[in-house]
Structure 1
Amino acid sequence: MAKRRTSLPVCLLSVLAAAVLTAATPAPATAAPAAATAQTAAVATTGFRFVDITGAGGVVLKANVIAPSAAGRYPAIVFPASWGLNDLEYIAQAKAFAGRGYVVVSYTPRGWWASGGEIDTAGPKDMADLSAVIDWTIANTAADPARIGAGGISYGAGISLLGSAFDRRIRAVVAMSGWTDLVYSLYGDQTRHRQSAGLLQLAAALLGNAGPDLTGKLDDFNANRNVAQIMEWAGVRSAATYLDAINASRPAVLIANSWGDSIFPPNQLADFYGRLAGPKRLELRPGDHAIAELTGVAGLPNDVWTSASRWFDQYLAGVATGIDQEPGVLVKPHNAATESYSAWSSFSGSPRRYGLGQIRWWDGTGLLGGNPSPGWSKTLPGDLNTTADGGVVLLTNGAAALTGILPQIWLPSVDRLRAGVWASDRPSTAARIRGIPRVHLNLTGTAAQGTVVAYLYDLDSLGNAKLITHAPATWLGTATGSRSLDFSLSATAYDVPAGHSLTLVVDTTDPLYYDANTLGSTATVAGGSYVDVPLR
């Protein structure tokens, strides 16, 4: 096999995992009572064993296994590795689970690193592979066939959640930073997500065997061609497509994600979670893709992995952790204490309509608030950027999660010739935003195709504006002229402090996304436009 090329971040993670493996390998096991469920105290384990597992079509999947050393039958967890990573990813967590009485099998999905085949992007072959890994686990370990779980981060989350629709032996799922709708992840509001797709493409080129299927789909995506075929392909790889099958099986599903996930934005999770029929839990925290659970991968204390442990203990090991009695939705706002709600609808605040008003001539800013007013307009040039943007995939929101400081701009730096800016009054009480803000723009003088990007900011008295949430929206028509554009910003939980102004910026381009504008085109925002902000 040809030597695979590597990238520095992945190499560092692999070295970290190997170090954890070396340090964590236990002493030879001593005699212990037979165990039938996970233990609260540490139990002796077999240590890690690296194995080859035959997947669909004879493809060899690289894997590792660790289990309690005492005789007995144990709950089992299968961890598919993340996109670009391998089965060393979960070494620290695998050891922890095994030490509490689980059989744990981690594997590298097909097409990645030393596993055979081509990347299937959570397609039918990956589903067959997951079932083959479960077959191997039952046949070759002390796994209890009635207590099988699956989980992982990102790609591993997606494979695990999808797999629960195809293999009824999966009784519990923990999906961290995963997706439920790949079509939305690629084409949310008809806008192609440029940087996130580019990052996935780069990882596949460096560390995997993309094959003609994935290579062709990504080439078509970047060239904006064969869109219907890509959407069909992505739909096959979306858990939302198989929700009825998941509900028929009724696995216990824990979904954990981040407000600022720039690869799999969180809006797609709300409807999916609401329609799940079995035991379920949704957790949302500050950060970007896979950031919230990152320290847990290194074996450090981590809230997401703590929830994962409690979830598997409750629904696989038969340990009463109490998580089944807690409210199903747990959220950590950007700047407030953790909150719990019985349902997504209970979390979402009541929408307050902020009308967009006439732009003032002296500062280029309009009023945000009150009823939408008629008789004004603001023309935006197409394909010209401003200082308002969503940042860099993974890095911007990832840094915000680690520092607690949201992305920030100085609002006077936003070029009013390129953007529309509307700011609210400064109320004496805080505004608690909870849920999905929704934007309605009346546009005139538009080209047949175009894109706008809306940003919702928290503006202080010195002009410093913290980015609360944002989203792009694209129209793809055949006629020029007037149109109404309705779209949702990314879900959020944020308290706008008393004395601060809620501020909306609208421009036409952002480096995170492909836009449909042409240089020289314009779109005019007209009266009657507004944003609905969910407030508690």
Structure 2
Amino acid sequence: MPRPRATLIALLALTLTAAAGGAAPAAAASPAAAVAQQAALATTGVRFADIPGAGVTLKANVVAPAAAGTYPAIVFPASWGLNDLEYIAQAGTIASRGYVVVSYTPRGWWSSGGEIDTAGPKDMADLSKVIDWTIANTATDPARIGAAGVSYGAGISLLGSAFDPRIRAVVMMSGWSDLVYSLYGDNTRHQQSAGLLSLAASLLGNPGTDLSGKLADFNANRNVDEVKAWARVRSAATYLDAINANRPAVLIANAWGDSFFPPNQLVDLFGRLSTPKRLELRPGDHAIAEFTGILGLPNDAWTSLYRWFDQYLAGVDTGIGAEPPVLVKSLNAGTEQYGSWAALNTSTKRYGLGSIRWLDGTGLLGGAPSTGWSKTIPTELDTTADGGVVLLTNGVSAFTGQQPQIWLPTVDRLRAGVWASERPGSALRIRGIPQVHLNLTGTAATGTVVAYLYDLDALGTAKLITHAPVTWLGTSGGSRNVDVALSATAYDVPAGHSLTLVVDTVDPLYYDANSPGGSVTIAGGSYVDVPTR
């Protein structure tokens, strides 16, 4: 159906984002990321097609080599809120490398029929129908089919590899593996990201009663078990055994600061995959690490896509299969490769939380966890410590190379607990998932705290390394222990800087479960475990 107002908004958003992306310097490709050199093939140009899906018509476009013969094929489902034109620049490049490229708009979006299925069973059936059509109507070798995409298209591609064994290779960029974790990570609902997904669906798609109902339940915090059951059906982690049985080669690429699909879930799935696999994590937010590639500009994530499909579909040895399978670009250092996720860190350093000094309202972070102290913070009162704005904060950080920062003295010590370590003479190389353990007293039956890990310099400037919220859902108040896994990170705290923990109870990124006028007391025995190298 026509959506002129929504189309104008979408085009304006894409134009503004492109302007921001164009200002970023192109990342230099490392020797390990070099693409096998080959002569570019002439292509057919873009051909638009209506593909019969599972009871609906899907809008699509096709680009292929012009010469006669059979070729491997890659299917690209479009991202949430976008359509099959999303990949038009990359489709030409990939087709010139010897692939049939079919991009399509998933059901319920733009001019494709039906209602949004949110990577559900109907979307899985549609993907198989697109593969059927591709084999029947293009010069595709049916034994060499891949699926790839960014965000929504990434999730559909990985899920599809569980249901259609014809998919022999997958590249998932800024996708999810566990939709329950994405919505309710550590029992905390993600407010801003879910709100943007809802807005896009209402402006550019046909959400229908299913998606509209689930989003309404999510925002109202009702029927939680039903929403989680719905989300599990749409999670690749649910079908891990089927993916492993089908054995597609899976490349997962994401950003450290993805505010839609935080990377911890991908680390977990990657560890349990028994297929040929690769994990790449870079600075940025959701779809930011891949964005310049969508515009057709040089981009490391898309270079990896070429190499992955050349290796596992085209039969070209690009060397990527023999490289260490985990590639990480640190937030403030270079690119590193490891043989496994566990190899990122070689030790774990425990920083105990100490008593608060009355002079500056700050406690010592370090040494063994101590007892005999407490720090009470109010609920429903925010501080300057926060995770930023969805997409924007970490997105800008990726382009500027500077982490989000605050001036630590502005953090109200009456509203937050602050602990800072001594300033070591050597750099602290954080690699992995820091864990925060808090002993709480005086809590209500339900509540939320948010933990932030900062790099504090001598002038009080604190750069955000990682953060995460945690919510407890009990039946009575009192004392309890809470553990929160902060978002995975790779960051070097310079020598002479202080590792700093801030804990408060409000962050605009998330819904909280706190009662107004309440308080939470953090007690002795609390600590932070930091994975280091």
Report the TM-score when normalising by structure 2.
0.95
Amino acid at match of 2:71: Y
Q: 1:378 to 1:183 in 2, by over 3 A?
A: same
1:35 paired residue number: none
1:15 is displaced (CA, Å) by 7.5
1:95-134 → structure 2 map (5 Å cutoff): 95-134=92-131
2:50 paired residue number: 52
Out of 226, 236, 257, the residue aligned to residue 233 of structure 2 is 236
1:130-529 → structure 2 map (5 Å cutoff): 130-529=127-526
1:17 is displaced (CA, Å) by 13
1:5 is displaced (CA, Å) by 3.8
Q: 1:505 to 1:362 in 2, by over 3 A?
A: same
1:16 is displaced (CA, Å) by 11
**C-alpha distance in structure 2 between counterparts of 1:3 and 1:191, whole Å:** 34
**C-alpha distance in structure 2 between counterparts of 1:68 and 1:439, whole Å:** 53
Contact 2:353 2:524 in 1 (8 A): yes
Amino acid at match of 1:123: G
Contact 1:286 1:334 in 2 (8 A): yes
- Identical positions, percent: 78
Contact 2:176 2:182 in 1 (8 A): yes
**C-alpha distance in structure 2 between counterparts of 1:487 and 1:214, whole Å:** 29
1:84 is displaced (CA, Å) by 0.2
Q: Deviation string for 1:132-183 (max 9, x for gaps)?
A: 0000000000000000000000000000000000000000000000000000
Amino acid at match of 1:224: N
1:533 and 2:530 aligned: yes
1:25 paired residue number: none
**C-alpha distance in structure 2 between counterparts of 1:12 and 1:129, whole Å:** 30
Amino acid at match of 1:461: A
Contact 2:3 2:204 in 1 (8 A): no
SS at match of 1:92: helix
Q: Deviation string for 1:99-128 (max 9, x for gaps)?
A: 111000000000000001000000000000
Contact 1:349 1:433 in 2 (8 A): no
1:487 is displaced (CA, Å) by 1.1
SS at match of 1:96: helix
Contact 1:172 1:315 in 2 (8 A): yes
Report the TM-score when normalising by structure 1.
0.95
**C-alpha distance in structure 1 between counterparts of 2:354 and 2:16, whole Å:** 54
Q: 1:387 to 1:7 in 2, by over 3 A?
A: farther
SS at match of 2:156: helix
**C-alpha distance in structure 1 between counterparts of 2:467 and 2:5, whole Å:** 36
**C-alpha distance in structure 1 between counterparts of 2:10 and 2:226, whole Å:** 31
Amino acid at match of 1:443: L
2:27 paired residue number: none
**C-alpha distance in structure 2 between counterparts of 1:414 and 1:308, whole Å:** 43
**C-alpha distance in structure 2 between counterparts of 1:446 and 1:497, whole Å:** 37
Over aligned residue pairs, what C-alpha RMSD do you find? Answer: 1.5
Out of 71, 84, 88, the residue aligned to residue 91 of structure 1 is 88
1:8 is displaced (CA, Å) by 5.4
Contact 1:256 1:304 in 2 (8 A): yes
SS at match of 1:314: helix
Contact 1:331 1:340 in 2 (8 A): yes
Contact 1:377 1:527 in 2 (8 A): yes
1:347 is displaced (CA, Å) by 1.2
Amino acid at match of 1:393: V
SS at match of 2:6: coil
- Any runs of at least 4 consecutive aligned residues in structure 1 with deviations exceeding 4 A, and if so which? 12-18
Contact 1:39 1:101 in 2 (8 A): no
**C-alpha distance in structure 1 between counterparts of 2:453 and 2:368, whole Å:** 18
**C-alpha distance in structure 2 between counterparts of 1:140 and 1:12, whole Å:** 35
**5+ unaligned residues in a row in structure 1: which ranges?**
19-37
2:39 paired residue number: 41
Q: 1:427 to 1:516 in 2, by over 3 A?
A: same
Amino acid at match of 1:11: L
**C-alpha distance in structure 1 between counterparts of 2:150 and 2:285, whole Å:** 12
Q: 1:427 to 1:15 in 2, by over 3 A?
A: closer
**C-alpha distance in structure 1 between counterparts of 2:364 and 2:231, whole Å:** 41
1:10 is displaced (CA, Å) by 2.7
**C-alpha distance in structure 2 between counterparts of 1:16 and 1:497, whole Å:** 35
**C-alpha distance in structure 1 between counterparts of 2:14 and 2:403, whole Å:** 30
**C-alpha distance in structure 2 between counterparts of 1:460 and 1:387, whole Å:** 17
**C-alpha distance in structure 2 between counterparts of 1:342 and 1:17, whole Å:** 35
Amino acid at match of 1:6: A
1:348 is displaced (CA, Å) by 3.2
Q: 1:366 to 1:331 in 2, by over 3 A?
A: same
Contact 2:438 2:482 in 1 (8 A): yes
1:7 is displaced (CA, Å) by 5.6
**C-alpha distance in structure 2 between counterparts of 1:13 and 1:477, whole Å:** 42
1:11 and 2:11 aligned: yes
Contact 1:385 1:507 in 2 (8 A): yes
Amino acid at match of 1:56: A
SS at match of 2:181: helix
SS at match of 1:504: strand
Contact 1:265 1:490 in 2 (8 A): yes
Amino acid at match of 2:336: E
1:350 is displaced (CA, Å) by 1.7
**C-alpha distance in structure 2 between counterparts of 1:14 and 1:528, whole Å:** 49
1:13 is displaced (CA, Å) by 7.1
The count of corresponding residues between Structure 1 and Structure 2 is 516
**C-alpha distance in structure 2 between counterparts of 1:401 and 1:166, whole Å:** 35
2:29 paired residue number: none
